[in-house]
Every structure is written in C-alpha cells, then in structure tokens.
C-alpha cells in the first residue's frame, strides 16, 4: 500500500484540490482545509489506512502540509 498516494487521494477527495504540486504549503493558511476537513481526514485515514488518531491528540501544526500528513501517517502505520 502506497501511503503517500493514498493520503494525496484522501486530501484530493476532501478538498477538491490536487495538492501534489504543493507538498509543503500550509493547507489551513491557504484555506484548503478547516477544522471539519481535519475530522474528515482523520476518519478517512482510519478507514483507509487503519491509522487511528483521536481528535483530542490532533495537533494542527503537525498536520498542516501534505508532507507532514504523510510523515505522520507513516510514523503511525
């Protein structure tokens, strides 16, 4: 299973944006993601990759770019 491709697919589905060309852009500052999208992201990661991150442990600064999200998922997988 390709974690990077799966995460990018999830982000694309959630946001309607292809973020693969902006791997270090802050998704929150750019308005691509908000708190609701964060919850949806965590639910999608759990269902598609088996990665369980409680919302209470979600630290936005650790999940604000596609590269950070991929690294975080890889560390939890």
Band of residue 40 on the pLDDT scale cut at 50, 70, 90: very high
Amino acid 55: pLDDT: 78
Band of residue 32 on the pLDDT scale cut at 50, 70, 90: very high
Can you give the pTM of this predicted structure?
0.91
Amino acid 41: pLDDT: 95
CATH, range 3-76? 1.10.1200.10
Q: How far apart are CA 63 and CA 30, in angstroms?
A: 14
State the average pLDDT for the chain. 93
- Taking residues 41-59, report their average pLDDT: 90
Scored b (16 or more CB within 10 A) or e, 9-28 reads ebbeebbeeebeeeeeeebb
């Amino acid at each position: 299973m390709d974690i990077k491709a799966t995460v990018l697919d999830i982000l694309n589905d959630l946001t309607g944006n292809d973020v693969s060309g902006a791997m270090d852009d802050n998704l929150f500052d750019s308005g691509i993601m908000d708190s609701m999208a964060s919850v949806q992201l965590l639910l999608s990661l759990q269902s598609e990759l088996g990665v369980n991150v409680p919302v209470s442990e979600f630290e936005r600064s650790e999940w604000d770019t596609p590269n950070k999200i991929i690294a975080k998922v890889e560390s939890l997988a």
